[in-house]
Amino acid sequence: MSEHVLLSIKPEFVEKIISKKKIYEFRKKIWKDPNVKNVSIYSSSPKKRIIGFFSIDNILTGTPKAIWEHCHEGAGITEEEFFNYFENRNIAYAIRIGALKVFDEPINPLDVIVDFKAPQNFMYLELEP
């Protein structure tokens, strides 16, 4: 299928990813396609731009408690924010951010994706080589 997905990430967390204060992106749901190797970063409102992408170094799955214990040093969020996000969830996903490429000029997704709507979870991208 696709080797690339697009994730909506709040601008404050995008900045932490760029500064390497956040090396894990946490999700409640994740794609099923094992071929996904890269994540495009859509900086959500008010930016509303694709700012770059990163390779996936690893994806961890476990209880929120286990994921926090393993990833808290690179979380880029507080323990309270983390557990509020995963409230009433049994499973948490932590995507370890690999090589990061930030575009010189952020891309307006409306210019490159037909009928673009920011994804709630993720969307597959078909990119031309």
**CATH number for 18:** 2.30.130.30
Rounded Cα–Cα distance for residues 36 and 94 (Å): 15
pLDDT of residue 3: 87
Instruction: Give the residue-averaged pLDDT of 35-54.
Output: 96
Q: Which of 11-25, 99-113, 114-128 has the lowest mean pLDDT?
A: 114-128
pLDDT of residue 126: 78
pLDDT band at 128 (very low <50, low <70, confident <90, very high): low
The domain total for the chain is 1
Domain residue limits at 120: 4-125
pLDDT band at 76 (very low <50, low <70, confident <90, very high): very high
Where does the chain have alpha helices with state H? 11-18, 64-71, 79-85, 109-112
